[in-house]
Amino acid sequence: MAKYSHEAVFETAYQAGQIPGVALVAADATGKFRYEKAFGKTAHGEPFLTDSVVWIASCTKLMTSVAALQQVQRGLIGLDEDVGKVLPEVAVLKVLKDFDAEGKPIFEDRKEAITLRNMLSHSSGLSMPLFSPKLQQLEKFTGPPANPPKNIVTEFSQPLVFQPGKGWQYGTSLDWAGKLVERLSGQSLEEYMKANIWDPLNMRLMTFAPDSRPETKERKVGMTRRDADGSLHPTTEGYLYLYGDREDAYGGAAGWGSAESFVNILQALCANDGRILSKELVDEMFRPQLGPEGKEMLNQILHADEESRRVLGNTFDMDHQVMDYGLGGEIGLKDEVGRRGAGTMSWGGLPNLIWWIDRKGGLCGALFTNLIPVGDAKIVELMRQFELSVYEQYEEFKKKQ
C-alpha cells in the first residue's frame, strides 16, 4: 500500500492531544481512486470513524445548492428569475441602508429582484446578525424577539444588508433556498434530498434528523471544545441547530452525516457524471458568479484578519489567492502548488469540517471532525498537509493506470 506522508503527522498530533478524532476522505473524478481513513477519538472517548455521524453545519449548503439547481433543471424556476413568486416573505424585505443620529434604522426599497443565482452565491443581501454588523446594530434597536423563532420565516425575515447583486455577505440565503425547494417540490427537505441526492449517490448516513433513524443515531459522536490553553474537553455546546429545536430543516446548516457519505456528492460533482445534475448546471456551479462589488467585498472579508483567513479561507493560500464564489462554494482563481488547481471550489462547516472539489486536478476530498471553536489553526495546518499528501499519491496512482 502507498505511503501517505500525512498519516504519521495526524497520528502524532492526536497522540499529543493536539486534535480530537478526525476522518479524512478523498476521491478522483474517475471513481478508481478513493481514500478513507480515520484517526483517534472524540474528547468523549468515542472512536471517530469514517462513518461517524456529526453535525455538518454549513457543509449542508452544497447539498441544498444542488437541490435548488435541480429545480432549475426541471424548469420550475430560472436561475435569474425572481424568487419572490415562491418566497413572498423574501420579496417584501427592504434594504437596511444605514442608521440616523439617534440610532434609528433607515430603509430603502429593493431596486432589483432577488434571484436564485443571488441566493446560491450569497450576493442576495440576505444575512444574519452573526455575520452582519448592520443587523447586530438593528437587533440592539429592536430588541430580542418575544419568543424564540422556530422556523426559517420567523427567524430570517430580516432586511437585506445591500441591494441584490451588489455585494457578498454570508448568511441565510441557503436556508431560504431550502424552503424554495420544499415549496416547488411539495416535499420536506429531508424527503426531497433522500430521493434526489442521498439515495442516488448512496449517501446512506445523511439526514436532518439524526435521532429519527437507528443507523444515524447509533453513529452520532459528541462535540469537543478546545480551550484557550489548547487543551481538549468534551462539551454538549456548540450546536446552532439541534434536532428538534426547530420546525424546519434549515438548508444552510442543519444537516448531519458522515465523511464516507459526504465524499460521494463531492465525487459526483468532480466527475460531472450527470447522476444528480446536468453537466451544464454543474459547469455553471463552478463558474465565478460575483459582480465587481461582490468580489471585492468577499476578498476584503477573507483577508480581514488571521481568523477570517482560517474560518473562511478553507486552506486556500490567502497570501496569493484571488477568490470568487460559485453556486455552491467559494472558488480559488489561481493554481496552488502541489494541490488545488485554479477553479477549485471549497467550503466547510462550523465544527472544523472542510471540503474541496478540484475539477482541473480531478480530485476532491474532505476533513470531518467535531471540534469548536470554528477555524482551528491546527486543523487548518493538518488539512493542508493531507491535501499535499493525497495529491502526491494521486499522481503516483495515475502513473500506474
How confident is the model over 320-329, as pLDDT tens digits?
Answer: 999 999 999 9
The amino acid present at 308, given as its one-letter code, is: S
CA angle 153, 157, 162 (to 5 degrees): 145
Query: Which H/E stretch holds residue 177?
Result: helix 173-185
- Digit-coded pLDDT (tens) for 212-264: 999 999 999 999 999 999 999 999 999 987 767 889 999 999 999 999 999 99
Topology given in CATH for the domain delimited by 5-63+202-399:
Beta-lactamase (3.40.710)
Q: Which amino acid is at 124?
A: S
Tens digit of pLDDT for each residue in 179-210? 999 999 999 999 999 999 999 999 999 999 99
Asked if pLDDT for residue 273 goes beyond 70, the answer is: yes
**pLDDT band per the 50, 70, 90 thresholds, residue 2:** low
What would the pLDDT profile of 40-88 be if each residue is shown by its tens digit?
999 999 999 999 999 999 999 999 999 999 999 999 999 999 999 999 9
> In the chain, which segments carry CATH 3.40.710.10?
5-63+202-399
Q: Does the structure show a pLDDT above 80 at 375? A: yes
Q: What is the pLDDT of residue 401?
A: 87
Q: List, by residue number, the catalytic residues.
A: 58
At 331, which amino acid appears? Answer: I
Task: Read off the pTM.
Answer: 0.97
Decide if 163 contacts 37 (C-beta within 8 A): no
Averaged pLDDT, 111-119: 97
